[in-house]
Amino acid sequence: QVQLIESGGGLAQAGESLRLSCAASGRTFSNYDMGWFRQAPGKEREFVASITWSASSTNYADSVKGRFTISRDNAKNGLYLQMNSLKPEDTAVYYCHAHRNLTKTTISVWGQGTLVTVSS
What's the confidence (pLDDT) of residue 21?
98
* 53: pLDDT strictly greater than 90: yes
Q: How does the average pLDDT of the chain come out, rounded?
A: 96
Amino acid 38: pLDDT:
98
User: DSSP assignment of 74-104, as one string?
Assistant: GGGTEEEEEE-S--GGG-EEEEEEEEEE-SS
Q: Is the pLDDT of residue 83 over 90?
A: yes
Instruction: Give the pLDDT confidence of 23-39 residue by residue, as tens digits.
Output: 999 878 999 999 999 99
> Measuring CA to CA, how many Å separate 3 from each of 21, 25, 29, 49?
13, 5, 9, 19
Within a 13 Å sphere around the CA of 9, how many CA atoms are in the beta-carbon half? 19
* Mean pLDDT, range 73-101, rounded to an integer: 97
Mean pLDDT of 93-109: 94
Distance CA 75, CA 41 (A): 35
pLDDT band of 78, cuts 50, 70, 90? very high
Q: Measured between alpha carbons, how far is 117 from 86 in angstroms, rounded to an integer? A: 10
pLDDT digits (tens, 9 = 90+) for 9-21: 999 999 999 999 9
Q: What is the pLDDT of residue 27?
A: 75
* pLDDT at site 26: 80
